[in-house]
Amino acid sequence: MDLRFRDAEPTAEEREAVDALLGPPATAWEGGRRTETDLRVAARPESARDLLLPALHAVNDRVGWISEGALDYICRRLTVPPAEAYGVATFYALLSVKPRPPRVLHVCTDLACQAKGADAVRRRVEERLGPPGQSWQPSPCLGLCERAPAALALEAGSPPTADVYGPVLPEQVTDGLWTDLPATAGPSSNGAAGGSRGEDPRAGDTGEPPAEAAVPQAGQDGLVLLRRIGVADPASLDGYRADGGYAALRRAFRLGPAGVIREVLESGLVGRGGAAFPTGRKWDATARQPDHPHYLVCNADESEPGTFKDRVIMEGDPYALVEAMTIAAYATGCAKGYLYIRGEYPRAIRRLEHAIATARARGLLGTGILGHAFDFDIELRRGAGAYICGEETAIFNSIEGFRGEPRSKPPFPVEKGLFGKPTVVNNVETLVNVLPILEHGAQAYAAIGTEASTGTKLFCVSGNVARPGIYELPFGATLRDLMDLANPVGEPRAVLLGGAAGAFVTDLDIPLTFEGTRQAGATLGSGVVLVLDDSVDLKAMLLRIAEFFRDESCGQCVPCRVGTVRQEEALHRLSERVDERDLLLLREVGQTMRDASICGLGQTAWNAVESAIDRLGVYR
């Protein structure tokens, strides 16, 4: 590829940050010093486009933003056209191509936080720090909903650090330096991703409550997916194994790949990311593909507003995910797995890096796992602030170093996925469900729940409840059962099921199953249960939902790119004055987004607003 660069040079710091990731440049073509040999021998560098996002992260983590010199140097190193790399860098909310201070405060203003007073925090921060864009910015859901309202400060440096705050009270945003922003739980400095591979993941955890603080049921009998949270030490592989860990992988080796798939099929497990596709069928279809290699992608880009279940699993029981990915790879014939985790989860990233490194050191990843002729390894990839990258094909583009835009289907991932090869994509919660299936057998698993929704489900309860957090219930429990556990504050007016892409419901007797919610015209989605009482301004909620989709639309297709903007505009008008024409306009645009958008983002962008108009009568 013949590339043309402008004459921007990287600073020594930027160069060092990139070289720390990629190693020193091998040839002059890659940005190294020109030698005699370069003039005599033609070198053809291997394409390394998939390292583009990690390289952009490296500079952004070190300096806080990506200058033209840094971008050019990355492009030289990876043989990527600068215009395309610029397109990638500008796609992600956590990356900046304009100078900004090293420390940036991300103030969550999304649904769960808004229900708990994020607007006051936002106003207070704005008074102290000025308009957003430089040292702070409003953020979509940070996945800290049980600690709402929450904030996350990311500070570039060597090493970069991350502080999590929550719950933040507006009066705590003091006159002092905003870096002193106190939190009830205190800030936690996390040796953030990248520099802490293999170190004790508990280091720097001071202050941030442990993962089990988000699990009100922690330690109770009868839990399946959450049973180790708060019980076993998330940093200890020995503790994990002593607690029954890696028994499922041993059983998998006894059953063989086809046997594992049969068990998963018979268990009736369906995907927990929102689409509820039968996991066994996905695995079977991938395993049967003649094209090789096969890839496994674990979708840990948990960004649906109000969702934080995957974070709790990854922080509280990281080895379970590593083991489950190993089993999935064994069943589907993958030698390589990518764990794509959202960039706003510093502690989960740190815990998983540690868990992967430990498992590798102990022969549980790598070649000849547990003495069997099976090789598998996991590469952790960090997202950079883009909800759309949780879409199953956008995640491929993001990993490959392209803009995280969804691909059109067909072809489906099981045929042509990551790098054009057969790929199985599963959500974190889906994968960890495989462990109990193999430990206790498909029959025992299928006996839990209802006929069409087997097993247990994690629910992310937030909003106006006394005990927010992750709850595990067998399928079939009603919304009321869940409410009784979470203890609503005041009279619940409405519950948002499934997040921004879900729907509002008022009937508490809805059974929380895939079929039950579908019958009620709602969806379980990713398990979001956001409880709203009379104190919450529903119009403001709808505006936030519309703003979320407008911000997070990738911009590829017209119905979503322009439709989400028109939806937000109409809701702004409606919140001032109810006009039938605007309601009709919303319906028409909404129907078109649902019918004609490329991916699930546009197709669901109107769901919650529609349900609020029809069921809650917000604009009556």
Partner 1 sequence: MIPLQPPRRLVDVEVDGESVRVPEGSTILDACTAAGKDVPTLCYGDTLTPKNACRVCVVEVEGSRTLAPACSRKVEPGMTVGTDTERARHSRKVVLELLGSSVDLSTTPRAAEWIEEYGAEPGRFGADAATVEQPAKVDNELYVRDYAKCILCYKCVDACGDQWQNTFAIGVAGRGFDATISTEFDAPLTDSACVYCGNCVEVCPTGALSFKTEFDMRAAGTWDESRQTETTTICSYCGVGCNLTLHVQDNKIVKVTSPHDNPVTHGNLCVKGRFGFGYV
Angle at 335 between CA 329 and CA 336, to 5 degrees: 90
Judged by CB under 8 A, the stretch of 257-265, 336-344, 420-428, 560-568 that binds partner 1 is 560-568
CA neighbor of 52 nearest in space, from 82, 13, 78 = 78
Residue 76 contacts partner 1 per CB under 8 A: no
Asked if residue 149 has a cis previous peptide bond (ω within 30° of 0), the answer is yes
Residue 492 sits at φ, ψ, to 5 deg, of -65, 130
- Give whichever of 187 and 602 is closer to partner 1, judged by the CB atom: 602
Q: Which of 24, 35, 83, 480 binds partner 1 (CB under 8 A)?
A: 83
- Give whichever of 93 and 618 is closer to partner 1, judged by the CB atom: 93
Report, in Å, the least distance between residue 556 CB and partner 1: 5
Report, in Å, the least distance between residue 593 CB and partner 1: 9
In contact, 279 and 426? CB cutoff 8 Å: yes
Judged by CB under 8 A, the stretch of 86-94, 117-125, 183-191, 237-245 that binds partner 1 is 86-94
Which 3 state secondary structure label does DSSP give 281?
helix
Judged by CB under 8 A, the stretch of 1-9, 124-132, 369-377, 507-515 that binds partner 1 is 1-9
Judged by CB under 8 A, the stretch of 119-127, 281-289, 436-444, 566-574 that binds partner 1 is 566-574
Residue 79 contacts partner 1 per CB under 8 A: no
- Give whichever of 363 and 555 is closer to partner 1, judged by the CB atom: 555
- Give whichever of 62 and 403 is closer to partner 1, judged by the CB atom: 403
Site string for partner 1, 574-603 (x = CB under 8 A): -------x---x--xx-xx-xxxxx----x
Other C-beta atoms within 10 Å of 137: how many? Answer: 19
Q: Which of 87, 101, 133, 222 binds partner 1 (CB under 8 A)?
A: 87
User: Within 13 Å of residue 516, how many CA atoms lie on the same side as its CB?
Assistant: 20
Q: Which of 91, 319, 459, 475 binds partner 1 (CB under 8 A)?
A: 91
CA neighbor of 435 nearest in space, from 297, 283, 311, 322 = 322
| Distance in angstroms (rounded) separating the CA atoms of residues 54 and 31 | 18
- Give whichever of 252 and 543 is closer to partner 1, judged by the CB atom: 543
Q: Which amino acid is at 445?
A: Y
In contact, 209 and 187? CB cutoff 8 Å: no
Q: Which of 28, 203, 520, 565 binds partner 1 (CB under 8 A)?
A: 565
- Give whichever of 114 and 592 is closer to partner 1, judged by the CB atom: 592
- Give whichever of 485 and 565 is closer to partner 1, judged by the CB atom: 565
Q: Which of 488, 499, 516, 559 binds partner 1 (CB under 8 A)?
A: 559
Report, in Å, the least distance between residue 551 CB and partner 1: 7
Residue 11 contacts partner 1 per CB under 8 A: no
How would DSSP label each residue in 168-218?
PPGGGS-SS-GGG---TT----EE-TTS-TTS-TTTT-TTSPPGGGG-TTT
Residue 534 contacts partner 1 per CB under 8 A: no
Please give the residues from 389 up to 408 whose contact with partner 1 meets the rule CB under 8 A: 403, 408
Please give the residues from 326 up to 345 whose contact with partner 1 meets the rule CB under 8 A: none
Q: Locate 533 and state its tokens.
A: 């009482």
Report, in Å, the least distance between residue 585 CB and partner 1: 6
Report, in Å, the least distance between residue 581 CB and partner 1: 8
Q: Name the helix (H) or strand (E) containing 111.
A: helix 111-115
Q: Which amino acid is at 271?
A: G
In sequence order, the β-bridge partners of residue 137 are 106
| Distance in angstroms (rounded) separating the CA atoms of residues 56 and 95 | 8
Asked if residue 102 has a cis previous peptide bond (ω within 30° of 0), the answer is no
Buried b (16+ CB within 10 A) or exposed e, 510-522: bbbbbebbeebeb
Residue 573 contacts partner 1 per CB under 8 A: yes
Q: Which of 134, 562, 575, 610 binds partner 1 (CB under 8 A)?
A: 562
- Give whichever of 229 and 276 is closer to partner 1, judged by the CB atom: 276
In sequence order, the β-bridge partners of residue 341 are 300, 382
- Give whichever of 60 and 189 is closer to partner 1, judged by the CB atom: 60
How would DSSP label each residue in 335-399?
EEEEEEE-TT-HHHHHHHHHHHHHHHHTTSSBSSGGGSS--BEEEEEE--S-GGGGSTTHHHHHH
- Give whichever of 81 and 209 is closer to partner 1, judged by the CB atom: 81
- Give whichever of 97 and 446 is closer to partner 1, judged by the CB atom: 97
- Give whichever of 11 and 603 is closer to partner 1, judged by the CB atom: 603
Residue 561 contacts partner 1 per CB under 8 A: yes
Please give the residues from 45 up to 74 whose contact with partner 1 meets the rule CB under 8 A: 68, 71-72
Judged by CB under 8 A, the stretch of 363-371, 481-489, 491-499, 557-565 that binds partner 1 is 557-565
Q: Which of 125, 145, 328, 554 binds partner 1 (CB under 8 A)?
A: 554
Which 3 state secondary structure label does DSSP give 156?
coil
Other C-beta atoms within 10 Å of 217: how many? Answer: 20
Let me know if 16 is exposed, middle or buried by CB neighbors in 10 A (0-12, 13-18, 19+): middle
Residue 545 contacts partner 1 per CB under 8 A: no
- Give whichever of 109 and 567 is closer to partner 1, judged by the CB atom: 567
Report, in Å, the least distance between residue 463 CB and partner 1: 27
Other C-beta atoms within 10 Å of 287: how many? Answer: 19
| Distance in angstroms (rounded) separating the CA atoms of residues 90 and 558 | 20
- Give whichever of 255 and 585 is closer to partner 1, judged by the CB atom: 585
3-state secondary structure 508-573: CCCECCHHHHHHCCCCCCCCEEEEEECCCCHHHHHHHHHHHHHHHCCCCCHHHHHHHHHHHHHHHH
Report, in Å, the least distance between residue 283 CB and partner 1: 23
For partner 1, how many residues bind (rule: CB under 8 A)?
A: 53
Let me know if 533 is exposed, middle or buried by CB neighbors in 10 A (0-12, 13-18, 19+): middle
Q: Which of 11, 27, 90, 134 binds partner 1 (CB under 8 A)?
A: 90
In contact, 292 and 421? CB cutoff 8 Å: yes
| Distance in angstroms (rounded) separating the CA atoms of residues 514 and 333 | 30
Report, in Å, the least distance between residue 525 CB and partner 1: 16
Q: Locate 256 and state its tokens.
A: 């063989």
Residue 386 contacts partner 1 per CB under 8 A: yes
Residue 445 contacts partner 1 per CB under 8 A: no
Site string for partner 1, 145-164 (x = CB under 8 A): --------------------
Residues that bind partner 1 (CB under 8 A): 1-4, 6, 68, 71-72, 81-87, 90-91, 97, 386, 403, 408, 410, 550-559, 561-566, 569-570, 573, 581, 585, 588-589, 591-592, 594-598, 603
